[in-house]
Amino acid sequence: MFDTMVITKAVAALCGALLVFLLGNWAASAIYVPGSANAPQAFTIDTGADDVADAEPVAELSFEEAFEIADAGAGSRLWSQCRACHALEAGRNGVGPYLHGVVNREISAVDGFNYSGALTQAGDVWTPEILSAFIQNPSGVTPGTSMNFRGISDVQDRANLIAYIESES
């Protein structure tokens, strides 16, 4: 069906077509060079990028400051990340323990839930500060925890979420 001559002709035709396109590109680049290619720029648009570099860095809020201005409504949006494993109804455990009344509740205090032993390292009571640290990086606060969650890095989001959990309890 195919012999060496047919394959050679096909490859030669492909190479010839590519060569024609390459030569056409070179010719077009040489012919259609704008006369003002090396001219200075006619105008500039100020985007304020230089002002950003000179501006003072914005200080990040501490958790206490963020918790004072926390918005429980904004925390309800973030609750969807927790809802897969936790419930806000008292006594209804899921993959994780229920979170009704978790703020200022003793750690590992939910009856009927098998906690991982790592939680005893966090402290005695789920204060908002300990909850914030735990939500930020669960495996960093309690190495060996069975909670598989990547964490929430934004301090205001953590404060809003804790305010929402506290308001629903």
3-15 average pLDDT score: 94
* pLDDT, tens only, 32-79: 877 777 788 788 888 877 665 556 666 777 888 888 888 888 888 888
Is residue 19 scored above 80 in pLDDT?
yes
pLDDT in the model for residue 168: 85
Range of the domain at 111: 63-168
Is residue 15 scored above 90 in pLDDT?
yes
The total number of structural domains in the chain stands at: 1
pLDDT in the model for residue 33: 77
Structural tokens at position 41: 């720029």
Q: Tell me if 44 is assigned to some domain.
A: no
Q: Tell me if 109 is assigned to some domain.
A: yes
* Cβ-based neighbour number of residue 42 at 10 Å: 6
* pTM flag (> 0.85): no
Is residue 9 scored above 90 in pLDDT?
yes
The most distant pair of C-alpha atoms in the chain lies apart, rounded to whole Å, by: 85
pLDDT in the model for residue 11: 95
* pLDDT, tens only, 89-132: 888 888 888 888 888 888 887 877 887 766 765 568 888 888 88
Distance (Å, whole) CA 116 – CA 145? 6
Band of pLDDT at residue 138, cut at 50, 70 and 90: confident
pLDDT in the model for residue 87: 86
Q: Tell me if 2 is assigned to some domain.
A: no
Q: Tell me if 95 is assigned to some domain.
A: yes
Q: Tell me if 67 is assigned to some domain.
A: yes
**Non-local CB neighbours of 105 within 8 Å, separated by 6+ positions:** 125, 126
CA distances from residue 4 to 1, 103, 146 in whole angstroms, order as listed: 10, 80, 65
Q: Tell me if 12 is assigned to some domain.
A: no
Report residue 125: phi and psi, to 5°.
-130, 145
CA distances from residue 49 to 41, 43, 52, 102 in whole angstroms, order as listed: 18, 16, 5, 45
CATH code, domain carrying 102: 1.10.760.10
Amino acid at 39: A
Q: Tell me if 52 is assigned to some domain.
A: no
Is residue 20 scored above 90 in pLDDT?
yes
**What is the three-class DSSP state of 92?**
coil
Cα of first residue to Cα of last residue in the chain, in angstroms, is 80
**Positive or negative torsion for Cα 30, 34, 39, 41:** negative
Structural tokens at position 65: 């400051």
Q: Tell me if 28 is assigned to some domain.
A: no
Structural tokens at position 5: 């001559």
DSSP for residue 125: B
